[in-house]
Amino acid sequence: MQVVEGTYIPEVGIDYPTDDPYARLYRPVYDRNVVVDEHYPYVDDSLKARFLRCSMWLLLLRIGLNIMLHVKMGLRVKGRENLRKYKQELAGGAITIANHCFRLDCPCVLLACGTKHTVKIPMFAPNFSTKDNFFLRVVGGIPIPEADKGIAAIKKFNEAFDEFHRRGYWFHIFPEAARWDFYKPLRPFQKGAFTMAYKYGMPLLPCVITYRERTGIYRLFAKKEIPLLQVEIGEPIFPDKTQPRGQEVERLRTEAHQRMERMAGITSNPWPVSSGNA
């Protein structure tokens, strides 16, 4: 990998895979059994669910995690002028995408973009059977049914996102799929985010999490090898519904990957834009 001069590359001692860009490096403890099939409440409008989403969004994300990420991780945001510049185009909902590189990278992006408690985030279904279940649900997580749950489950999931789009909700997707902590290169993108952008005619809002060396008072809150974080918000990319679906999905994926490489200060990336049929 080659980067622009001055670009910080953290060395955190992780042995990253070189053959499978979607390898899952972390093995959580599955301490409950949440069944994600056609009976799962993908759209939960119950009073309890709505109260938890609103209250926890404020207390957990807007206050608690906001303070923690700024103090412990030195969170900075760049590019908010793009939100103002394209306010009208983003008013009907957008899809934020970002590199998946930190346990709390999703809250970093949501805070940076100022999204509301109605944001919806497709997520790896088995993670809902861990101690993170409550957190994943209140930040807007929607489990993606695994293939063995059948077509009916996938249909319910798709219908849920049809409804979320009808309501004007924002979506957030990590096109790299799996989390690799503090990894600098951009890995190949799966096509789900770009297929969804084309289907709904929603703008893509590329965001990149980059790193800074941990210095000064920040050394009190984590080891010096753990970098500080910055979220940069790019200009939106708009799908062209007049073009054939497959062709346009590939254009969106390629343009997003290349633009995010530039935002990250990467001039030569070791991974291709896509990998196989993902």
What CA–CA distance (Å, rounded) separates 197 from 177? 17
Residue 214 has pLDDT above 80, yes or no: yes
Give the pTM. 0.95
- Rg (C-alpha) for the chain, rounded Å, is 18
Length, in residues, of the chain: 278
Q: What is the average pLDDT value for the chain, to the nearest integer? A: 96
Is residue 185 very low, low, confident or very high in pLDDT (cuts 50, 70, 90)? very high
Nearest Cα residue to 174 out of 97, 239, 103: 97
Express each pLDDT in 93-119 by its tens digit.
Answer: 999 999 999 999 999 999 999 999 999
Express each pLDDT in 45-64 by its tens digit.
Answer: 999 999 999 999 999 999 99
Residue 105 backbone phi and psi in degrees, to 5: -70, -30
The two tokens of residue 243 are 């073009």
Instruction: Tell me the mean pLDDT in the region 226-253.
Output: 98
Express each pLDDT in 121-142 by its tens digit.
Answer: 999 999 999 999 999 999 999 9
Write the CA distances from 92 to 25, 87, 89, 116, integer angstroms.
Answer: 36, 10, 7, 13
pLDDT, position 277? 65
CA 120 to chain CA centroid, Å, is 10
What CA–CA distance (Å, rounded) separates 263 from 3? 11
What CA–CA distance (Å, rounded) separates 188 from 274? 4
Instruction: Tell me the mean pLDDT in the region 192-213.
Output: 98
pLDDT, position 275? 85
Q: Is 173 exposed, middle or buried (0-12, 13-18, 19+ CB in 10 A)?
A: buried
Residue 276 has pLDDT above 90, yes or no: no
Residue 31 has pLDDT above 70, yes or no: yes
Q: Are 33 and 145 in contact (CB under 8 A)?
A: no
The two tokens of residue 187 are 């890995």
User: Where does 167-244 have alpha helices with state H?
Assistant: 192-200
